Structure 1
Amino acid sequence: MLGFLTARQTGLDDPLRLRRVESTRRVLSLKLNPDRDVDRIHGNGINTIDIEAVEGRYMLSGGADGVIVIYDLENFGGKPQYTCKAVCTVGRSSRHVHKFSVETVQWYPYDTGMFVSSSFDKTMKVWDTETLKWLFYVSLAQMRFAVGTKNPKIQLCDLKSGSRIHVLQGHRGEVLSVRWSPRYEHILASASADSKVKVWDVRRASGSLFTLDQHNGDKSKASSEAVNTAHNGRVNGLCFTSDGLYLLTAGTDDRMRLWNSASGENTLVNYGKVCNESRKRLQFTVSRGCSPEFVFVPCGSSVAVYALHTGELITMLRGHYNNVDCCEFHPDYQELYSGGKDCNILAWVPVLRAADVEEEESNRENKVRTSPVRLLQMCNISGRFLHFVQSQRR
């Protein structure tokens, strides 16, 4: 680490390289933090969580009990041991609460003053964070959201008017998951119980752009009943990479697949058996800023961590007492939060291992012994480079 810092300080290395290396190290050292607790509010399993992208401070959770909770992840005390407190709760006593299980909660991406929730009570609600009241009208333009339902149609709704503006038709089974591309605001992916994943351009009135095919068009490998299917079972998980170049899907055939989001090509990365017994939406996530990137997938009572482009199983994060249904990556601190049927939200935090401590101490000692010569060499190199730049400017 000291070598990276020195190289960056003297201008010999790309500043982003140090950031990627440190982010990768932190992800690879994720452990269940005994000093970090999250208030236990839900009386039933936790189906969904979301961390807002504006400050990275607040987290939403929705449970099978119909309750919605907002947590503050900030550590104001400055002590290693602290609890992420629940600052707001839409409990059973609220007249605005969902009647049945909450399946999705999501922050409005540009402002923490609003979030959206959906439930098995067949409603989708837009909330004012300040009052925790259901908003019937939102005075913001250019806002839309997509809703997947038991009906095979996908509803596109306008948040300003609260009305349906478009319907996407093409699936033959219930739509279990929908995701907007982080790269193009008009591109939407949908996963269904009909084993298919479709990619849509919502600006077009016609059908989908393409349907993902696990066999990449090789009809000899596909039966007549399985043409253009992404999985051999229900597809209940979707996740774009942070750059929007790739799309990950998960199905009840215990497989996860990585697709080129522009062409729809199956990259054929083999993740092995990815246990998936969920009959509803499975929320998994991808790291950001690492090299390589990693995928975090609920797998029974654990969270499986895979290398995105090789499919290698890196580790299994164990700590829940029952099945894990959702996980969310915090890109600012390379932390992971997971929720499950045990009613707990667990925080997985980077830990500096004893071997890393010894290595840091060894590097520090070596730096003390060799720093004069090494720094002189670096100064000479950077000095020659500076002289070259100045001569070019003349």
Structure 2
Amino acid sequence: MLGFLTARQAGLDDPLRLRRAESTRRVLGLKLNPDRDVDRVHGNGINTIDIEAIEGRYMLSGGADGVIVIYDLENCSGKPQYTCKAVCTVGRSSRYVHKFSVETVQWYPYDTGMFVSSSFDKTMKVWDTETLKPAEVFEFEGNVYSHHLSPIARKHSLVAVGTKNPKIQLCDLKSGSRIHVLQGHRAEVLSVRWSPRYEHILATASADSKVKVWDVRRASGSLFTLDQHNGDKSKAASEAVNTAHNGRVNGLCFTGDGLYLLTTGTDDRMRLWNSATGENTLVNYGKVCNESRKRLQFTVSRGCSPEFVFVPCGSSVAVYALHTGELVTMLRGHYNNVDCCEFHPDYQVRYAEGNSKFAITMAVSNEPLPCGQITW
């Protein structure tokens, strides 16, 4: 590290190399933070979390109790020990609260004044952060497993929604209506994800073992369906052609540059795909435990070289090297199943002596005692 600093000071090296090296060092040194805690508000398991990208300061969480909480992650006390406070809550006493489990929460990518939640009560709600009242409510015929807003879209304001119905719904935030349906899956859609590289590219994962990639400007169907065998029919059973996994596909995650797509399935496998061609890169991550019947929220590091994947695995979070498949470490701290995790690349915990650490946030579900806990 001193060599990087010396070269940077002399103008001999790119400052981004120093940043990547330090980011990687900190990820490899991740451990449970003894000085930081999070207010315990949820009375049951936590299914989903999201950290806003504007300031990186506020975090949303949605629980199996239907409650939504907004936390302030910033430590303004000047002390090493700090509890992230819940600044506001949509609790059971609110007339607008979801009636059943909240499955996905997401900040509006460009403004913390709005966020979106979806639930097993068959609704997706667009919230005004200031009033904590829904500005728009979309109702569906079945449970809503997942929704996603594009992090880069400028030409559209579409929310992709995956429900118990095999058809993917596209909802327009500007008009407040469902404007389009994508047909091709044969079972419930468990996860949807917009590309962070191209604003019209969408990936969807279903219980039919398939992952489809769409260009929503086209009306002729999906661009392609991912095939774990890369077209080699001799390796695929006749009934399993063009399947991404040998089970339900319940996790999707693009890398930060959008060049690769990761998928997880109930066959206990994780696969890395070229997002442009749909080719299976054949990286072997070994057995990746996945017992979830719903959407699994996992994440990829940003600003590191090499990149790392953080995947809930039982009561721990498994950390893999993205391109080699090596299991780097297991992050432990929960007492029961971890349901979701989110990586924060820029947030630093400030200590009196000036030290800092990167933070990874984990949310746990079905935890008997204590329950509904978020851990750093």
* TM-score, scaled relative to structure 2: 0.87
Rounded to whole Å, the distance in 2 between the matches of 1:270 and 1:393 is 29
**2-side partners of 1:262 and 1:339: how far apart?**
47
Which residue is 2:334 aligned to?
320
Please report how far the alpha carbon of residue 160 of structure 1 lies from its aligned counterpart in structure 2 after TM superposition. 1.5
Where do 4+ consecutive residues of structure 1 move more than 6 Å? 138-141, 334-340, 381-384
Q: CA deviation at 1:38?
A: 0.4
Q: CA deviation at 1:334?
A: 7.5
Q: Residue by residue, what CA displacement relative to the aligned partner does 1:33-80 show, whole Å, maximum 9, x if unpaired? A: 111000010011000000000000000000000000000000001111
Q: CA deviation at 1:333?
A: 3.1
Q: How far apart in 1 are the matches of 2:375 and 2:353?
A: 57
1:292 shift after superposition: 0.1
Q: For 2:16, what is the secondary structure of its paired residue? A: helix
- Preserved CA contact (<8 Å) 1:327 1:336: no
- Check 1:42–1:11 CA distance in 2 against 1; reply closer, same or farther (3 A cut): same
Structure showing the higher helix proportion among its residues:
1
Query: CA 1:393 to 1:300, structure 2 compared with 1: closer, same or farther past 3 Å?
Result: closer
Structure 1 residues 218 and 143, CA gap change in structure 2 (3 angstroms): same
Per-residue deviation, 1:285: 0.1
Q: Once the two structures are superposed, what CA deviation does each residue of 1:281-336 show, in whole Å capped at 9, x if it has no partner?
A: 00000000100000000000000000000000000001101100000000213799
| Secondary structure class of the residue paired with 2:31 | strand
- Would the alpha carbon gap of residues 339 and 301 (structure 1) be closer, same or farther in structure 2, given more than 3 Å must change? farther
- Alignment CA distance shift 1:159-1:383 (3 Å): closer
| Structure 1 residues 339 and 172, CA gap change in structure 2 (3 angstroms) | farther
Provide the rounded CA distance (Å) in 1 between the counterparts of 2:174 and 2:206. Answer: 28
Superposition RMSD on alpha carbons, in Å? 8.9
Who is 1:192 aligned against?
206
- Render the CA deviation track for 1:185-215: whole Å, top value 9, x for unaligned: 0000000000000000000011000000000
The SS at the match of 1:148 is: strand
What is the CA distance between 1:382 and its match in structure 2? 56
In 2: Cα distance, 1:109 partner to 1:4 partner: 34
Residues 214-259 of structure 1, C-alpha deviations (whole Å, 9 max, x = no match): 0000000000011000000000000000000000000000000000
Distance 1:139 1:37 in 2: 34
> Does the CA contact (< 8 Å) of 2:45 and 2:365 recur in 1?
no
Aligned 8 A contact 2:205 2:211 in 1: yes
Change (3 A) 1:96 1:12: same
1:102-161 deviation per Cα after TM superposition (whole angstroms, max 9, x unaligned): 00000000000000000000000000001100xxxx999831100000000000011112
State the Cα distance separating 1:338 from its structure 2 match.
26
Percent of pairs identical after alignment? 90
Alignment partner of 1:26: what SS? helix
Q: Does 1:166 find its partner at 2:148? A: no
Aligned residues: 343
Gap change, CA 1:263 and 1:63, over 3 Å in 2: same
2:351 is paired with a residue whose SS is strand
Cα distance change, pair 163–335 in 1 and its aligned pair in 2 (3 A): farther
Q: Determine which of 151, 163, 182 is the counterpart of 2:196.
A: 182
Name the stretch that deviates more: 186-195 or 13-22.
13-22
1:14 deviates by: 1.4
Aligned residue for 1:14? 14
C-alpha displacement of 1:383 = 63
CA separation of 1:74 and 1:164: change in aligned 2, threshold 3 A: same
The answer to whether the Cα contact below 8 Å between 1:329 and 1:336 also exists between their aligned partners in 2 is: no
**Larger Cα Rg: Structure 1 or Structure 2?**
1
Distance 1:233 1:191 in 2: 11
Contact 1:47–1:104, Cα closer than 8 Å, also in 2: yes
Change beyond 3 A, Cα 1:237–1:336: farther
CA distance in 1, matches of 2:366, 2:237: 66
Q: 1:234 to 1:275 in 2, by over 3 A?
A: same
C-alpha spacing 1:382/1:125, structure 2 compared with 1 (3 Å): closer
User: Contact 1:27–1:334 at 8 Å: present in 2 too?
Assistant: no
Partners of 2:124 and 2:375 lie apart in 1 by 61
Measured in 1, the distance between the counterparts of 2:227 and 2:60 equals: 34
Flag the 1:139–1:302 CA change in 2: closer, same or farther, 3 A.
closer
Contact 2:75–2:349, Cα closer than 8 Å, also in 1: no
Residues of 1 paired with 2:305 and 2:155: CA distance?
37
Q: Any unmatched runs of 5+ in structure 2?
A: 134-151, 355-363, 368-373
Describe the shift of the 1:103–1:338 C-alpha distance in structure 2 as closer, same or farther (beyond 3 A): farther
Whole-angstrom CA distance in 2 between matches of 1:220 and 1:75: 57
Return closer, same or farther for 1:69/1:336 CA change in 2, 3 Å cut-off: farther
Alignment check: 8 A CA contact 1:157 1:166 kept: yes
Provide the secondary structure at the position in 1 that maps to 2:89: strand
Residue 88 of structure 2 aligns to a residue in which SS? strand
- SS for the counterpart of 1:17 is helix
Is the CA contact (8 Å cut-off) linking 1:324 and 1:339 kept in structure 2? no
The change in CA–CA distance for 1:237 and 1:339 in structure 2 (over 3 A counts) is: farther
Aligned residues of 2:299 and 2:341 also touching (Cα < 8 A): yes
Unaligned runs of at least 5 residues, structure 1: 341-380, 385-391
